[in-house]
Amino acid sequence: MHPCGPAVETDPDTGRQRLALGQQHFAVGLEDADRCWYRTYALAVAQGLGGRQVRRVVALGDGAEWIWRRAEAFLALPGVEVVEIVDLWHARQHAWKVANVVHGQGTPAAAAWAEPLCQALLEQGTAPVRKALGQLAPETAAAAQGGPAGQRLL
């Protein structure tokens, strides 16, 4: 079995299916990004990155594009899949950002969209979020372009 799958198990509390986790290793630190990613790469290589032992690496981050670019640059060796996951706190923050741009900053409509979506994310995973984002119809030109100054929301 790979460190993250391919086996699937059922969560006894929620009944949701998830990838079965094997042996896990974590890398965290309070250092500049270059040192952190080099240390992460070195740890991953020591654990078998690129060999038969490590074929999938999960990168957990806040959704910043530079993190995903570095994860790919340091960890996506031939035959290695890099899975990018936005942590729950930041995913909720991004959902509220979208709600405020699409429905108006601090409006009841923004709250009516974001609050149940954040709860669904917690209880059901990403499927409801992906569906809700796919159904959005921005009401203003700024929202259609990604918000003020065309910023990327997700």
Domain assignments of the chain as residue spans, ordered by start: 4-86, 88-150
Q: At what angle do helices 88-103 and 108-124 cross, to 10 degrees?
A: 150
Question: Would you give the distance in Å from CA 72 to the centre of its chain?
Answer: 14
Reduced to 3 states (helix: H, G, I; strand: E, B; else coil), residue 104 is: coil
Token code pair at residue 76: 């996506």
pTM over 0.75: no
Reduced to 3 states (helix: H, G, I; strand: E, B; else coil), residue 22 is: coil
Which residues have C-beta within 8 Å of that of residue 72, sequence separation ≥ 6?
82
Task: Please state the φ and ψ torsions of residue 9, each to the nearest 5 degrees.
Answer: -130, 165
Does residue 147 carry a pLDDT above 60?
no
Q: Would you place residue 33 in the very low, low, confident or very high pLDDT band (cuts 50, 70, 90)?
A: confident
pLDDT reported for residue 150: 47
Q: What are 46-98's pLDDT values in tens digits?
A: 888 888 878 888 888 898 999 999 999 999 999 899 999 999 999 999 999 99
Unique residue bearing structure tokens 């270059």: 34
* Mean pLDDT of the residues in the chain: 83
CA angle 109, 112, 113 (to 5 degrees): 90
